[in-house]
Chains A and B, each alone.
Chain A
Amino acid sequence: MNSAASAPGTVRRFVLLLRPSGWLSGAKLWALMPYLYGVVLAAAIIAFNPDLILGPRALDVRATALLPLALVAFGQTLVVFTRGFDLSIGGIISTTSALLASQLTGTGLELAVQLLSLLAFGALAGGLNGLIIARTSLQPFIVTLATWSIWGGVAILFLPQEGGQTSPELTDLVVGNVFGVPVSLIAVAVLFGAWVWLRWSRLVLDFKAIGSDERSAELAGVPVARRKVQVYAISGVFAVLAGIWLAGQFGGGSPTIGNEYILPSVAAVVVGGTSIFGGSGSVAASIAGALALQMIPDLIFVLEISTFWTGFLRGALLLIAVTISSVFLQAARSRL
Chain B
Amino acid sequence: MRSVALPDLLRSNRGIVAAYGIALALFVVGVLHSPGYASDTNVRTLLLYAAAIGIAAFGQTLCILTGGIDLSLPWTMTGAAVLTAVLAQGDPGRLPWIFALLIVLAVLVGLLNGAGVAYAGVPPILMTLGSHGVLASLVLVYTRGGMSARPPEIMHEWVTSTLLGIPAPVIVWVLIIVLATVMLSRGTIGRRLYAIGTNRSAALLAGVNIRRTLLVPYIVSALSGGLAGLLLMAINKQAFLSLGQPYLFATAAAVAVGGASILGGSGHYLGTVAGALILTLMASLLTLFSLGHAWLNIGYGLILLLALLIATPQSKRV
A: which residues have CB within 8 A of B?
Answer: 1-7, 132, 136-139, 141-143, 145-150, 152-157, 160, 263, 266-267, 270, 276-277, 306, 308-316, 318-319, 322-323, 326, 330
Contacts and interface: CB of A to CB of B under 8 A. Distances in A.
Contact of B127 (A6, A139, A306, A322): A322
Contacts of A322: 122-123, 126-127, 130
B144 A306 contact: yes
Which 10 A-B residue pairs are closest in the complex by CB-CB distance? A5-B121, A315-B133, A153-B297, A312-B137, A150-B301, A311-B137, A149-B301, A153-B298, A308-B140, A156-B294
A267 B304 CA distance: 25
A152 B136 CA distance: 22
Contacts of B127: 319, 322
B131 A315 contact: yes
B312 interface: yes
A276 B308 contact: no
A139 B265 CA distance: 14
Nearest to A138: B308
A312 B305 contact: no
Chain A interface helix/strand/loop/mixed: helix
Contacts of A132: 305
A138 B133 CA distance: 28
Interface stretch (B8-16, B28-36, B76-84, B249-257): B249-257
Given A136-B309, A322-B127, A146 B118 contact: no
Contacts of B299: 153
Contacts of B210: 2, 4
Interface string B274-318: 000000000000000000111111111110110011001010011
B158 to A, nearest CB: 32
A205 B200 CA distance: 29
B71 to A, nearest CB: 8
A310 B137 contact: yes
A2 B137 contact: no
Given A142-B262, A152-B297, A318 B130 contact: yes
B138 interface: yes
B41 interface: no
Interface of B: 71, 116, 118-123, 125-127, 129-134, 136-138, 140-141, 144-145, 200-201, 204, 210-211, 249, 252-253, 256, 261-263, 292-302, 304-305, 308-309, 312, 314, 317-318
Contacts of A157: 294-295, 298
Contacts of A306: 141, 144
A164 B113 CA distance: 41
A319 B249 contact: no
Contacts of B317: 136-138
Contacts of A277: 123
Contact of A149 (B119, B262, B300): B300
A153 B256 CA distance: 20
22 contacts: A4-B118, A4-B121, A136-B317, A142-B262, A145-B253, A146-B253, A146-B300, A149-B304, A150-B297, A153-B298, A153-B299, A154-B294, A267-B129, A267-B133, A276-B126, A308-B145, A311-B140, A315-B130, A319-B134, A322-B123, A322-B126, A322-B127
Given A132-B305, A323-B120, A318 B294 contact: no
A150 B249 CA distance: 12
Nearest to B69: A141
Contacts of B131: 315, 319
Contact of A142 (B204, B295, B304): B304
Contact of A1 (B137, B141, B200, B253): B200
Given A143-B305, A148-B301, A263-B132, A137 B126 contact: no
Contacts of B308: 136, 138, 142-143, 146
Given A132-B305, A142-B262, A306-B144, A3 B204 contact: yes
B83 to A, nearest CB: 16
A4 B211 contact: yes
A208 to B, nearest CB: 18
Given A312-B134, A318-B126, A323-B122, A153 B296 contact: yes
Nearest to A255: B294
